[in-house]
Amino acid sequence: MEYSYPFSPDWTTDEIIAVVQFFEGIEKAYEKGIVREEMLSLYRRFKEVVPSQAEEKSVFREFEEASGYVSYTVVKQAKELENGQTIKVTKK
């Protein structure tokens, strides 16, 4: 896929890397599946960079428009599943 990840020019290099890794986790959930704990770890780090709910929604929307992947669905499953379970989402 050819698209760019959403980011803010205010973020440091480490913060940009954390956000990109989070979105790579979202992609993995759609493409082959990702273990719940790994996704939650990526999400926790993402939330350190994007703590505000409004900014999170905006970044999620931007990523969805570029990629077609819905981040909210993956995060919701990660919160609902039990430890050790794999998140696997199908694109609509």
Is residue 69 in a domain?
yes
Give the integer Cα–Cα distance in Å for 22 and 48: 12
Q: What is the CATH number of the domain that holds 57?
A: 1.10.220.80
Is residue 3 in a domain?
no
Distance of CA 2 to CAs 5, 19, 21, 28, Å? 10, 17, 16, 15
Q: How many domains does the chain have?
A: 1
Q: Let me know: does 87 contact 65? Beta carbons within 8 Å.
A: no
This prediction has a pTM of 0.93
> Angle, to 10 degrees, between the axis of helix 53-67 and the axis of helix 13-31?
60
Question: Could you list the residue range(s) of the whole structural domain that residue 61 is in?
Answer: 13-82
Read off the pLDDT of residues 30-87 as tens digits, 9 standing for 90 and up. 999 999 999 999 999 999 999 999 999 999 999 999 999 999 999 999 999 999 999 9
